[in-house]
Homo-oligomer: A and B are copies of this chain.
Amino acid sequence: MNPLDLTRPGRVQSAAPAACTKCGSRVAGICAALDIAGLDEMSHETRRSSVAAREVLFREGDEATHIVMLVRGTAKLSRQLPDGKQQVLGFRFDGDMLGFTTGPCFIADAEMLTDGVICRVSRRDFEAMLARYPVLQRRLIDLCAQELAATQEQLVTVGRRQAEQRVAAFLLSLAQAQKARGASPQAFEMPMTRAEIGDLLGLALETVSRAFSALRRRGLVREPGGNRVELPNIAALQALADGEVLDA
């Protein structure tokens, strides 16, 4: 049950990194499946742009005329409930794809948490690319399955762990995302607020804050400022998230 161990049974492996001529993305996005010709073609069919923190990329119910490749930056996927509450479905990072759906409309809101760079690909072009390069379809299936597995893991966290365990699991998922991108899982930026973490984990923001305080007191988390987080003892954090007894 170690999310950081990519060789764990059932864990989806990331494809080898590939450079996207237009996006410049070197991580395992959808482009990773394309050869040079495909990448070149795609680069003519995308519109790259800078986006600011807090900018909304799309909203649930908007017509899904395009999909978004997140080249650089962090984004939040969420859904609003009728009574005004919010459920964060997940955070997305460099190289992730946002807004793919088989239906006519987006099924979630997407909002940037940091400044960043995105590529918008029109849905028509994307469908054409899928038809032209069957390997892309295959890759899309992989991505879908990967996202499904992550969402199921999220469900386990929200459904069956208590507050401190949920926060520990969340931090580990961030560390995992870092590691998958070749960065250190022990120190990284965490641009989301306590409220957003709470809306991800099904907790009140105060409960999230208390959990962070407790983890800091135990030396499992450090926050040196500037949104940075350090996890000096990932193994212990993992043990906590898994509900194992701590002998510290």
Contacts and interface: CB of A to CB of B under 8 A. Distances in A.
A103 B12 contact: yes
A217 interface: no
A148 B150 CA distance: 10
A104 B242 CA distance: 23
Contacts of A101: 10, 12, 145, 149
A129 interface: no
Most chain B CB within 10 A, of A106, A144, A199, is at A144
Contacts of A146: 102
A161 B65 CA distance: 31
Interface residues of A, number: 55
Nearest to A149: B107
Interface in A137-159: 137-138, 140-142, 144-149, 151-152, 154-156, 158-159
Given A81-B242, A146-B102, A107 B61 contact: no
Contacts of A243: 81-83, 85
A142 to B, nearest CB: 5
A181 to B, nearest CB: 20
A37 interface: no
A134 B79 CA distance: 33
Given A1-B82, A83-B243, A105-B10, A155 B160 contact: no
A156 B79 contact: yes
Given A89-B152, A137-B137, A154-B155, 5 more contacts: A9-B105, A100-B145, A108-B152, A144-B148, A148-B148
